[in-house]
Amino acid sequence: MHVSLNELTSLSRRALEGVGFPPGEFEDAADMIVWLEQFGLGGTKLLAKTLPRLTTEQWPAVQKLYDDGGGCVVLQIENGSLLQGGSLAADMACTRALADGLGVVRLSGCRDRGFILGYLARCARRGYHMTAMWCVGEPRRAIQNVATATGHPTLPTIRRYRADGGGEQMADTHTLTLIATRDFALMPARDPAANAFELLEEITPNELAARSRLAWDQGVDVDADLWSKLQALAAVKLVEATPESRARGAGETRQ
Amino acid sequence: MTAVKRIVSTQADNPRPETGRVSRRPASEVMQLERLGSLHACRLSFIRTLMRKVMAERWAIQCRVFDLDEKGYGTCIYRIATPTQLYSLVIFSQYLDPSLRSDRVIANAWDCAFALCMGDVDDDYLDVLRENVPRQEAGRCDPRVLVLSRANRSLRNFDMVVNALAAGQKPDPDKLAKVGYLYRTTAVYGNGKFGIADYPRIRDSEDFGLPFSAQMFAVFLLRDFSIRQVEHIARCQAPDTATTLCSPLRRYLGIGNSTGLGMAPFLINHPALINQWLLMREAAIARCLSQTATAEHVEQLCALLAQAQQHTAETTTDDERQTQLNHQLEQELKLAEEWLKETGIPDQIMSDRLWQSLCEKAQREWSLEAQELIHSLLMEVYPEQTDELEQTMAATDEFDLVPEMSTDELIERLRRDYDWALAYDFTQPDETHLFWYRSAEKEEPRLGERHVDPGEDREMPLDIARQASGLYSALLNWETAQGKCTPVVEFLLANPQYKGITRRTQGISELAYGEIRANLLAKGTLPIHLLRCKLAFFGATKFDPRSDRWVRITLFQGAPCIEDIGSAFADDWWMPLKPAL
């Protein structure tokens, strides 16, 4: 199924609204999905994987487990999807960064963490330097994803590392760590001597911009089955037509 | 309450044009629903801007293929060369069973369907378009298509014009004054709909970067097709006697449009864009009011007022309310003309604020329609104060949350910017009498009566006033429970249902004209006001309400024809009068 980005945005928003996402959240979640798709990072494939759970779960409560009153906060999302309000963790990091120079928020019990890429650029255009880190795979041989977005209206740099600690490190594969600052000097930097982190992939802002242009010019491909499922979810919010609604509801007859 | 440390406010990058010594009107006045529903087209309307551009840049428009049978069915292709790009408009004209002809978006067949495309169209691509364009929503297009649309013939005019031309006669101008078009569009799709190009693809282009300009251009070319088609059919019917439309009648023919509730959600969901349109309009009005009137300007405005009276007198509608408004408008325009002639330019002080005096008098004594039409006419007197603002009519609706804002600050902003919303008592049934929903039939937005019509459990979130009111109460309760104010992000972690209206409230602070100040759920709400507001910015004239939720209008009536491109252009075609033949 070949679709325009606007079609994908519109249908994703309405489908998530149909699932029960509240106003504001269904737009943010859809925009994160579309952001990944627009930049060639597989947003709809990730969505296809998580959609069955999204449609059967209650909206997860986000609880604060720890707050040092300064720059450090730990939140718990009860194994919910990042799409279910997880972007607020990044907003929390920004808030603490503004107050204390550096904000570090760990969102534990969170799945679908890759979607956070779609929110980093929004934080960056508000003037924040952002770093997001999360590990996937087996805890003993995890891949660590690191994304950084610097504070101006541009695109993030995305890096993926193999976080292999010589078989001794147990990676936490259910937590997203977000670091925000308005001071570039406080951005975390990789130690060149840290051989345990092998750079697997790096996507530069230029590469992302080229992918984006392609998507705007040519549209994107979406799995037909996923598209049908999204249409069905969006249809939940549609009201069956009756002769009465056809005439009076749309104003064909004078009121 | 304890203050939270610092606030970073998102600054809109929209320009704030200088207005001179007169300030723009406040949003509390401009954004009243009934006033928005009284707007008229003006120099900043999109079809006016488009025509200035087409004429100034001398776009080369050629009808490359005109392959119609004797009944006018077939294919027509226009080739358009702008200074930077080539485009094609492809029109498919087909037989339509009269019983299927409907202006409603739920229709599935039309007299013609058309697409504006990038570049030339070869035979292979024409086959693809022929397979999909006539099916409209049921077809699929690709990003080479910029605009997808369809139109129905005007039953009142089409055959009348064909028969007159076939008999070698001129069509009756009185009938064209009643309905000033041969075709009426029922939807004009852009921005990625059904697979066509996303707006960002053309946003930075020289040709169609301004809002709705590609859509309006496609409609402009349909107007030329409609004239060619009736002349062709007449020629086929009576080759020996048929004649063509004379130039005054060609210009007097526009294109109709039929619009329903589908347009309403757009105005609510694009506050930044709506703000920009109204900000530029209000800036233009303020600039014009700042000007010192001369005798020549007074004479010019008097002539425009006289023209507007006649144009209004020639506007007919079956709608009783609009008919009364038109009569009143005509009388008030006459009073304005008389007042100006009597007042003249008595002294320097008076001439410095003559326009302000006129508008103050209009506000005291005359209808909203008269007030707003006088504003539009003043812009005609001062094009040099107005036209440059057309370049800043675009805006992007991207609001970011300001998570660090304190709940105290958010409460203050609600009191300041949504005082009108907080004044409603939503415990009163009349304030929530209506609800908006999307029908399963082509997802058409409709209005239902609460507790009567099905669907209130699937209500569309167009209830901005009610949401703002709910947020206000929730914030007060939150601060009471917390015993202090907090950053907004803490409130939203516990209350995610308020994220949308929170972000909107934060963003709207920078957008004075972004919010329509009305409770759209209230009993007696007239949604047609929303439609008219947007259509006036398109450049619509001759508003003909078919009910309180559905309106027909005319576009491009009086505009130059494509054969006029390259000739002198006075840009005075708005509000055309019936040709005296």
| B104 contacts in chain A (CB < 8 Å) | 250, 252
Which DSSP category does B504 fall into? H
Closest B-chain CA to A75: B493
The pLDDT of residue B545 is 94
Q: Which candidate from A5, A216, A251 shows the least CB-CB separation from B550?
A: A251
Count structural domains, chain A. Answer: 1
In-domain check, residue A202: yes
The C-alpha of B312 sits at a distance from chain A's nearest C-alpha, in angstroms, of: 23
Closest A-chain CA to B502: A24
In-domain check, residue A244: no
**B522-528 long-range Cβ contacts below 8 angstroms, 24+ apart:** B522/B424, B522/B430, B522/B431, B522/B432, B522/B433, B522/B434, B523/B430, B523/B431, B523/B433, B523/B434, B524/B433, B525/B33, B525/B434, B526/B33, B526/B34, B526/B37, B527/A251, B527/B261, B527/B264, B527/B447, B528/B37
Q: Which domain holds residue A226?
A: 2-235
Mean pLDDT of B432-438: 96
Q: How far apart are CA B476 and CA B407, in angstroms?
A: 9
Between A and B, how many residue pairs show a Cβ–Cβ distance under 8 A? Answer: 167
Q: How far apart are CA A93 and CA A186, in angstroms?
A: 14
CB of B498 within 8 A of CB of B390?
A: no
Per-residue pLDDT of chain A (255 residues; tens, 9 = 90+): 999 999 999 999 999 999 999 999 999 999 999 999 999 999 999 999 999 999 999 999 999 999 999 999 999 998 999 999 999 999 999 999 999 999 999 999 999 999 999 999 899 888 899 999 998 887 777 788 888 887 766 788 888 777 654 445 677 889 999 999 998 777 777 665 666 677 888 888 899 999 999 999 999 999 999 999 999 999 999 999 888 888 777 776 554
Whether A228 has its CB under 8 Å from any CB of chain B: the answer is no
In-domain check, residue A161: yes
The pLDDT of residue A194 is 63
Interface of B with A in 153-192 (CB under 8 A): 191-192
| B438 contacts in chain A (CB < 8 Å) | 237-239
Interface of A with B in 150-179 (CB under 8 A): none
User: Phi, psi (5° rounding) for residue B574?
Assistant: -65, 150
The pLDDT of residue A148 is 84
Whether A232 has its CB under 8 Å from any CB of chain B: the answer is no
pLDDT band at B9 (very low <50, low <70, confident <90, very high): very low
Whether B360 has its CB under 8 Å from any CB of chain A: the answer is no
| B453 contacts in chain A (CB < 8 Å) | 244-245, 249
| B197 contacts in chain A (CB < 8 Å) | 4
| A2 contacts in chain B (CB < 8 Å) | 140, 142, 195
Asked if B453's CB is within 8 angstroms of A249's CB, the reply is yes
- H or E, element range at B92: strand B86-93
Asked if A2's CB is within 8 angstroms of B8's CB, the reply is no
pLDDT band at B267 (very low <50, low <70, confident <90, very high): very high
Closest B-chain CA to A24: B500
> Mutate which of B7, B104, B198 to disrupt the A interface (most A C-beta within 10 Å)?
B198
Distances (CA, A) of A231 to A10, A234, B55: 11, 5, 44
| pLDDT over threshold 60, residue B4 | no
> Mutate which of B499, B502, B531, B532 to disrupt the A interface (most A C-beta within 10 Å)?
B499
In-domain check, residue A175: yes
Mean of pLDDT over chain B: 94
| pLDDT over threshold 50, residue B290 | yes
Q: How far apart are CA A156 and CA A129, in angstroms?
A: 10
Asked if A62's CB is within 8 angstroms of B549's CB, the reply is no
Whether B410 has its CB under 8 Å from any CB of chain A: the answer is no
Percent of chain B with pLDDT over 70: 97
The C-alpha of B249 sits at a distance from chain A's nearest C-alpha, in angstroms, of: 32
Q: How far apart are CA B40 and CA B538, in angstroms?
A: 10
Whether A222 has its CB under 8 Å from any CB of chain B: the answer is no
In-domain check, residue A247: no
In-domain check, residue A253: no
pLDDT tens digits, B44-71: 999 999 999 999 999 999 999 999 999 9
Interface of B with A in 191-220 (CB under 8 A): 191-201
Q: Which candidate from B143, B496, B502 shows the least CB-CB separation from A218?
A: B143
Asked if B446's CB is within 8 angstroms of A239's CB, the reply is yes
Q: How far apart are CA B277 and CA B394, in angstroms?
A: 8
The pLDDT of residue A252 is 61
The pLDDT of residue B539 is 98
pLDDT tens digits, B370-403: 999 999 999 999 999 999 999 999 998 989 999 9
For every residue of chain A, DSSP letters joined together read -EE-HHHHHHHHHHHHHHHTPPTTHHHHHHHHHHHHHHTTS-HHHHHHHHHHHHTTSPPPPPEEEEE-SSSEEEEEEEEEETTTTTHHHHHHHHHHHHHHSEEEEEEEEEE-GGGGHHHHHHHHTTT-EEEEEEEES-GGGEEEEEEEE-SSSS--EEEEEEE--TT-----TTEEEEEEES-GGGS----TT-TTEEEEEEE-HHHHHHHHHHHHHH-EE--HHHHHHHHHHHHTTEE---HHIIIIITTSS--
Q: Which candidate from A25, A218, A250 shows the least CB-CB separation from B261?
A: A250
Asked if B550's CB is within 8 angstroms of A252's CB, the reply is yes
Q: Which candidate from A24, A62, A99 shows the least CB-CB separation from B499?
A: A24
| A242 contacts in chain B (CB < 8 Å) | 454
Q: How far apart are CA B146 and CA B189, in angstroms?
A: 9
Q: Does the pTM of the predicted model rise above 0.90? A: yes
Angle at B208 between CA B203 and CA B211, to 5 degrees: 70
pLDDT tens digits, B98-141: 998 888 877 889 999 999 999 999 999 999 999 999 999 999 99
The pLDDT of residue B12 is 39
Asked if B197's CB is within 8 angstroms of A250's CB, the reply is no
| A254 contacts in chain B (CB < 8 Å) | 547-548
Q: How far apart are CA B54 and CA B562, in angstroms?
A: 9
The C-alpha of A217 sits at a distance from chain B's nearest C-alpha, in angstroms, of: 6
pLDDT band at B172 (very low <50, low <70, confident <90, very high): very high
In-domain check, residue A249: no
Higher pLDDT, B549 or A37: A37
Q: Which SS3 state, helix, strand or coil, does residue B187 take?
A: strand
Whether A5 has its CB under 8 Å from any CB of chain B: the answer is yes
Closest A-chain CA to B550: A251
Beta-carbon count within 10 A of B56 CB: 11
